[in-house]
Amino acid sequence: MSANDLKQRCHTIIPGHKLPAPADYFAEMANWCRQHRIGHDTYGAGALIEQLQQKVAALLGAEAAVFCITGTLTQVTALRLACMERGSELVALHPTAHILTYERSNYQLLDHFKALRLGALHRPWKLADLQATPEKLGAAVLELPMRELGGQLPDWQQLEAIKTHCKQHAIHLHMDGARLLEAAAGYQKSYAEIAAGFDSVYLSLYKGVGGLGGAMLAGSKDFIAKAGEWMRRQGGDVVMRSPYVVAAAMQFERRVAAMPGYFARTEWLYGLLRDYPQLQVNPARPQSNMLHLHLPVGAERAVAIRDRIAAEHGVWLFGRASDAALPDHSVIEWYVGDNLLDLPDLQVREALKMLADAVK
C-alpha cells in the first residue's frame, strides 16, 4: 500500500490543513462561485484574479502583484530580471534555499543566473554573511520562514540590517515568502513591515493558504509588468487561472486570520514536547507555526514506525522523514495547521506518546 493510500485511511492526521476529497473541494468552490457570481478570467484578465492580486499587493505594501502558475517559475524569473537590471549574474542563496534544494538546477541549466552560496547551513543569514563576499551581487534571496531550518526566522535586527545593506549596495533583495503568512505571528509584525525593503516577494497560494496551486509575485509596477511578460515567454500564460484563483480567494482572508491561532497552538505544543525528551525540537523556541522533530532512529526506521502506527491506530504522524547529520537519526516536519488546531489536547498527547515510545 502506498503512503498516500495509508494516510487516506487514517482518522487522525497530525500536520497540515484538512484536505477535502476532490468532489467535496470542487463542490465548495462551485457554491462559492455561485454565491459571488464568479466568471472565468482569460489570460489573467478578470475581476476575481485582479482583486486577489490587489489584495496581496496591499497586504504586502507593494505597488502591484501578479498571479504565477508555479513558485518554481516565479522565483527564477524574478531573479533573472533582477540580475539583468543590476548588471550582475550573481545571486546569493542560503545553502538550504528551495532553488538549490528542490528545483533540479533549473537556474543553471536554463541559464537564468549564477548562484553563490552564502552563510552557515544550520542558521539563518546574518549581515556578516553578505558583507563577506567581495563580488558584486545582482540579487540576494531570503526565505521567511526557513523551512529546512524548522521554520526559523532571522533575527529582526539582522533582517533590517540586511535590507539596509542591499539597498546601499544596489542588490535586489528577493523574499522567498512561500510561507510568509506564517512569519507575522513569530515576528509580531505586519506583513507590510516584514516585506518593506524587499524588491520582490513570492507568496505561495497553496501552502499556508491551502489552495490548489499557484503563487503571487509582488513588487513595483514596472518589475511586475516585466515579470508577467517573461512568464508568458516561458509558457506560464495559462488561458484560465480561475480554478487556482477561486481555491485561494475563497479562503485567503480566513487563513490570514487563522495564523495567530496556529502560532498559539505551536507554543502550546512546545510546552507539551518538554515531556518527551527523545523528541528533540528545532528551533528551540517557536518562531512560526512549523517545527522539526529530530528522532533517535534513521529515516527508514522512522517511516516504518509511521506506517505501523497509521495501520494499527489510524493516526498519521508525519509525511517525509530525512536522514539527519548524526548516524541513525532522522528529522520530520510538523506544520501546525487546522489539523492540530482542531485536535483535542488528549489526542495530541496520545499521538506524541505513541511516537516517543516507538523511537525509544
Q: CB atoms < 10 A from the CB of 202, how many?
A: 25
Per-residue pLDDT of 26-63, as tens digits, reads 999 999 999 999 999 999 999 999 999 999 999 999 99
Per-residue pLDDT of 133-151, as tens digits, reads 999 999 999 999 999 999 9
Do you find a cis peptide bond into 20, omega within 30 degrees of 0? no
**Which letter does DSSP use for residue 23 in this model?**
H
Task: Give domain limits for the chain.
Answer: 3-20+254-358, 38-250
- Nearest by Cα to 330 from 284, 298, 307: 298
Output the CA angle 308-313-315, nearest 5 degrees.
85
What local confidence, expressed as pLDDT, does residue 95 receive? Answer: 97
CATH topology of domain 38-250: Aspartate Aminotransferase; domain 2 (3.40.640)
- Per-residue pLDDT band at 208 (split at 50, 70, 90): very high
User: Would you say domain 3-20+254-358 falls under CATH 3.40.50.2300?
Assistant: no
Indicate the angle between helix axes 47-60 and 252-273, nearest 10 degrees: 50
Where are any strands of DSSP class E within the chain? 12-13, 64-68, 90-93, 114-117, 139-143, 172-176, 200-204, 215-219, 280-282, 290-295, 315-316, 321-323, 330-335
> Which residue shows C-alpha cell 497509521?
310
Instruction: Answer positive or negative: Cα dihedral of 42, 48, 51, 52.
Output: negative
Does pLDDT of 1 surpass 90?
A: no
**Which letter does DSSP use for residue 171 in this model?**
P
Does pLDDT of 65 surpass 90?
A: yes
Per-residue pLDDT of 280-309, as tens digits, reads 999 999 999 999 999 999 999 999 999 999
Tell me the pTM.
0.96
